[in-house]
Amino acid sequence: MSIQTLTTGLPAPKPLQLGQTALFLDLDGTLAPIAARPQDVAPDPRRTSLVERLAQTLDGRLAVISGRTLEDIDRILEGCVIAAAAVHGLVRRDPDGQVFASQPHPALPRAVEALHVFAARDPGLIVEEKAGLSVALHFRQARDQADAARACARRLAVETGLFLQDGDMVAELRTPGASKGDSVRDFMAMPSFAGARPVFVGDDITDEDGFEAAQALGGIGVMVGPDRATGARFRLADVDAALAWLEAAK
C-alpha cells in the first residue's frame, strides 16, 4: 500500500448492516485483547457467542483472517468459525472445511534455530513456531530488546529469502506466499461470499493488505486501536469498541 494512501484521524464506522456484508475479522487486537504471551489468549463466552451469531446471520459470509495457526483460531474461538485463513494467509480453510496450505520454505528451520539462539539472551523473548510455515519473535515482555530483535529478523530475511512480517512488538519470518489481502480475494471469489460487500476489521500493520483488498472490492477497512497511519477508512478505539460495534450489527 502506498504511503500516500495512509491517513490518520479516521471516523468511526456506521452501524454494520449484515444483509449484504461479507465479514473478515482479525483475531488478536480485534476480537481478543493482545496478551503478554500468545498462549495466554483464551476462549471467552462473550466473544464466542458473538461470533456464533454472526456466522449464523451471515449465512457463510464470515471468515477469520489471522496470523495465528488454524489450531489456535479454533481453540480461541471454540471452533465456531469454519472459513479461516491462518498464518497470514499461508493456510486457508474454505467454507466446506477443505484446508489448503503453502509448501514450507526450506530455510525456515535455519531461521527457527537462529531466533531461539537470539531469544536465549532474555527470558522475556518468545519464539512462536507456526505450522512449519513461519516463526515469530515476540518481544512485548523484553521491550529493551526490540531494536536488536528487529535487526536480527531483518538480517535473517536477507540471508534466507523468508518474508519479514513486522507487527506490534513482534517480528515474523514466514514462507513467501499469500497475504491477508489474497485471502480476502480468494474468499470473495467463492459462491458463498460472491456479490457481498467485504468488510475487513483488523488492528495491526499486518492487516493493511486486508483493508486494501476489501476496499478495492467495494467494501471498507476498519482499523481497531490507537490512531495511526492506515489505509483503512474507519477506526474503532479498542477491542471492546469493536465487539460492541459487531454486537450491534443487524
Q: Which CATH number belongs to the domain containing residue 159 in this structure?
A: 3.30.70.1020
Q: Which residues pair with 171 in a beta bridge?
A: 137, 166
| pLDDT lower than 50: segments of the chain | 1-4
Residues 199 and 170 in one domain: no
pLDDT at 8: 82
Residues 27 and 80 in one domain: yes
Burial 223-242 (b: 16+ CB within 10 A, else e): bbbeeeebbbbbbbeebeeb
CA angle in degrees (0–180, nearest 5) for 160-212-19: 130
Give the count of domains, the chain: 2
Is 13 within a domain? no
What are the counts of helices (DSSP H) followed by strands (DSSP E) for the chain?
7, 12
The C-alpha cell 471469489 sits at 189
Residues 89 and 117 in one domain: no
Report CA torsion sign: 146, 70, 45, 224: positive
Residues 41 and 87 in one domain: yes
CATH at residue 32: 3.40.50.1000
Residues 131 and 239 in one domain: no
Domain extent, residue 46, equals: 18-102+178-247
Residues 89 and 198 in one domain: yes
pLDDT at 7: 75
In this structure, what DSSP letter does residue 250 have? -
pLDDT at 5: 58
Residues 81 and 185 in one domain: yes
Full strand arrangement of the beta sheet holding 62-65: 99-101, 91-93, 84-86, 62-65, 21-25, 197-202, 220-224, 234-236
Is 4 within a domain? no
pTM above 0.85, yes or no: yes
Please give the Cα distance from 146 to 152 (Å, whole number): 10
Active-site positions? 26
Query: Hey, is 62 helix, strand or coil?
Result: strand
The CA-atom distances, in angstroms, between 81 and each of 15, 47, 78 are: 22, 12, 8
